[in-house]
Amino acid sequence: MKVNMKIFDCNVSYGFEIMPAAKKFEFVKDLIADMDKHNILKAMVYNCEGKQNLSCFSNLKLSENIKSYKDRLCAVYCFRPNIGTEMYTPAQWEQSIKDNDIKGIYFYPNDYQFDVDLLGSYFQVFNSMKLPVFVEFAAGFGFAYKIDFSALHKFLSKYTNTPFILTNAGMMNDFEIFRLSELHNNFYLELSGFQGNMALEEYVSRFGSERLLFGSRAPFFSPVPMIGKIHYSKLKASDKENICYNNMQRLVDEVNYENHQ
């Protein structure tokens, strides 16, 4: 499905994945071909192998794989460090983020349960850079786990320069989503799971369109439903442009490696 909207997809992965998917993006070129098919201009991309193994190896592979597509793809590191070892200190994460022009962090909270004592020194680095952190609400069919919203609230309160982007969450969690949107300007919502009847219109009427982000969750899902959802919504053109492109581009532009102390 092609429509006349400029699209920046914030939730895309490639690489070996054990979960069933609508397509397989084994290589970055497969992802680019699918983006071209659906007229998607840019994407935030992570190597999904980083969810299953120590992330350092998949992150380095990601940086190398997308070098030829830097005008189309922004790299997102998977955050699964071997905490407590000399190889994966916050300082080394900081340097790798800078060296490889990383624009986001994919955080799998089931691993570390939003433990401030354990993760704080890492998140201070992300916060100082205004680095977007993608937080996955649930994994697997039947929701293998669900996010701790009270813990997310604490992180949003503590790391106020960090845009926290909740992914894969749906209308069944509208109470928590709306509450976090009321309390935190650094809370953002990726829309691949948020597809209830008039859900977009309700959210925008309450909070505006500046914290909603187009996400397809490709290759697990096709981008077509999300494109159609926004295209046929009753939102104003300016709101559609914010959701589809402007908001994610603004967050990428605000990443700043130089101000880290």
pLDDT digits (tens, 9 = 90+) for 106-126: 987 766 777 888 889 999 999
Range of the domain at 250: 8-254
| 42 within domain boundaries | yes
Provide the pLDDT for residue 141.
44
Quick one: pLDDT band at residue 144, thresholds 50, 70, 90? very low
CA–CA separation, 259 and 261 (whole Å): 6
Length of the chain: 261
Q: Any residues with CB less than 8 A from the CB of 153 and at least 6 apart, and which?
A: 180, 183, 184
User: What is the distance between the terminal CA atoms of the chain, rounded to a whole angstrom?
Assistant: 46
| 23 within domain boundaries | yes
CATH code of the domain in which 56 resides: 3.20.20.140
| 1 within domain boundaries | no
CA–CA separation, 209 and 42 (whole Å): 19
CA–CA separation, 27 and 171 (whole Å): 33
Nearest Cα residue to 45 out of 11, 18, 69: 11
Contact of 166 with 187, CB cutoff 8 Å:
yes
- Is the pLDDT confidence value at 259 over 70? no
| 70 within domain boundaries | yes
> By percentage, how much of the chain surpasses pLDDT 70?
87
pLDDT digits (tens, 9 = 90+) for 38-82: 999 999 999 988 776 667 778 888 989 999 999 999 999 998 776
CA–CA separation, 156 and 132 (whole Å): 12
The total number of structural domains that make up the chain: 1
